[in-house]
């Protein structure tokens, strides 16, 4: 098995659950002893992914969001965030900085932010079937804590 630990969570696509998702990510990542900066980066990326699922995946309805956290050998945290909402017709276009389908109040920087704070970012989506965002972040072992 490539993973050393994992957890799965599922919750409704309510905006109040974005804070829960950030906290859950931080709590799970804590076992790798990240720096405050690494923890902040992880929380920000999770916040962006969950917010995208809420705002774009389920713009007019309540749906469900599933999160999976895995510790992969080699001190890597993998986070998967999935919705079963609208989906994305053109993932490449959606990942372009400043592109948004959310109106003037949205910045169109969600995927860009996720990619800048994580080491790897993959997005899979099918219109009408939902979107899965998978992010990985290597956490450097601290001196004397191997």
Give the residue numbers annotated as catalytic, written as ranges.
48, 52, 106
Angle, CA of 53, 22 and 117, to the nearest 5°? 80
């Amino acid at each position: 098995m490539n993973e050393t630990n994992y957890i799965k969570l599922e919750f409704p696509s309510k905006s109040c659950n974005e804070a829960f998702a950030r906290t859950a990510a931080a709590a799970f990542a804590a076992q790798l002893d990240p720096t405050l900066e690494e923890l902040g980066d992880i929380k920000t990326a999770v916040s962006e992914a969950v917010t995208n699922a809420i705002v774009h995946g389920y713009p007019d309805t309540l749906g469900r969001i599933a999160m999976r956290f895995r510790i992969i050998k080699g001190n890597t945290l993998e986070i998967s965030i999935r919705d079963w909402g609208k989906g994305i017709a053109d993932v490449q276009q959606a990942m372009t900085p400043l592109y948004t389908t959310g109106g003037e109040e949205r910045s169109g920087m969600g995927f860009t932010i996720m990619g800048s704070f994580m080491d790897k970012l993959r997005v899979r989506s099918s219109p009408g079937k939902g979107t899965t965002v998978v992010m990985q972040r290597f956490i450097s072992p601290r001196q004397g804590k191997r």
